[in-house]
């Protein structure tokens, strides 16, 4: 069985940041592997270690800088990676359908039996690409999976979907399928030194839209970000100031007044 894992390098804003135009200033963000995708990689690597998966391929849409992130996926155990980037993505904000078009082309090339990705990306937070991809490529799907077993003989995945309020839905999904992975599914490993060394020798195939048989029209986005701003603080919190001792003393007085510690 072949597993394709979609990963994204996400931007995380510093505590203090400036907004330039319709995005956060590049100097005020740190780049990292999307937290949800880390769980998806771990799930795929565990399937390989269990002998269920023969090959784990990571795919990302991202500029050259994102190689650092996708190499992290390789260091954790993915066998090889595909990185897709194109000038067409520099122009604006890619919508879900645009990303799906890219992943569809990669799925056509790779022919995976299972596609895993995070529930959402920490920066844009759409939470939709996996389910939309499944619809496009005719795979089954399940969103927000926090428990996963593959029954290779029955050719299906047994999953739990994490609903709101402490309830999980138990679902069987026929393969091939796209599953979006929730945090807490497993314990993502740290890359070992050996893994990091091995990752240097693993292939990252960089390609663009033409390489995938697509054109800029295929990734035309329906969405345009027209403004970005910091939400007005609605805080009417009473800030308790002073050094740690002073502020703790004042907070203790407030808490005692509320009957705490009595």
Residue numbers 137-176 binding other proteins by CB under 8 A: 140-144, 160-174
| Pattern 58-77, other proteins, x by CB under 8 A | --------------------
Decide: is 105 part of the binding site for other proteins (CB under 8 A). no
Element (H, E) at 162: strand 156-162
Decide: is 55 part of the binding site for other proteins (CB under 8 A). no
**Residue 64 DSSP label:** G
Give whichever of 67 and 220 is closer to other proteins, judged by the CB atom: 220
Contact between 177 and 141 under an 8 Å Cβ cutoff? The reply is yes
**Residue 66 DSSP label:** G
Among 177, 199, 209, 214, interactor with other proteins by CB under 8 A? 177
Decide: is 217 part of the binding site for other proteins (CB under 8 A). no
Distances, alpha carbon 32 to alpha carbons 13, 67, 136, 197, 217, in Å: 11, 11, 28, 19, 29
Decide: is 106 part of the binding site for other proteins (CB under 8 A). no
Give whichever of 9 and 162 is closer to other proteins, judged by the CB atom: 162
Among 7, 84, 132, 209, interactor with other proteins by CB under 8 A? 132
Distances, alpha carbon 101 to alpha carbons 34, 137, 155, 191, 253, in Å: 21, 10, 26, 31, 59
| Count of chain residues binding other proteins (CB under 8 A) | 86
């Amino acid at each position: 069985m072949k597993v394709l894992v979609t990963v994204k390098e996400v931007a995380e804003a510093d505590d203090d940041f400036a907004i330039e135009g319709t995005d956060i200033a590049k100097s005020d963000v740190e780049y990292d592997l999307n937290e949800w995708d880390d769980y998806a990689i771990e799930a795929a690597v565990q399937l390989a270690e269990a002998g269920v998966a023969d090959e784990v391929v990571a795919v990302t849409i991202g500029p050259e800088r994102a190689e650092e992130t996708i190499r992290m996926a390789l260091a954790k155990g993915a066998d090889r990676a595909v990185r897709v980037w194109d000038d067409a993505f520099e122009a604006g904000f890619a919508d879900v359908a645009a990303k799906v078009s890219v992943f569809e082309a990669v799925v056509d090339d790779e022919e995976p039996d299972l596609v895993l990705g995070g529930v959402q990306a920490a920066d844009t937070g759409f939470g939709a690409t996996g389910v939309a991809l499944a619809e496009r490529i005719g795979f089954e799907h399940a969103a927000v999976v926090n428990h996963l077993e593959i029954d290779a003989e029955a050719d299906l995945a047994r999953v739990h979907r994490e609903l709101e309020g402490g309830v999980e839905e138990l679902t069987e999904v026929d393969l091939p399928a796209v599953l979006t992975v929730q945090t807490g599914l497993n314990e993502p490993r740290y890359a070992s030194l050996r893994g990091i060394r091995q990752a240097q020798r693993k292939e990252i195939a960089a390609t663009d839209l033409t390489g995938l048989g697509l054109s800029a029209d295929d990734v035309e986005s329906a969405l345009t970000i027209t403004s970005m701003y910091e939400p007005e603080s609605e805080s009417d919190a009473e800030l308790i100031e002073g050094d740690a001792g002073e502020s703790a003393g004042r907070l203790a007085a407030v808490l005692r007044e509320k009957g705490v510690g009595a």
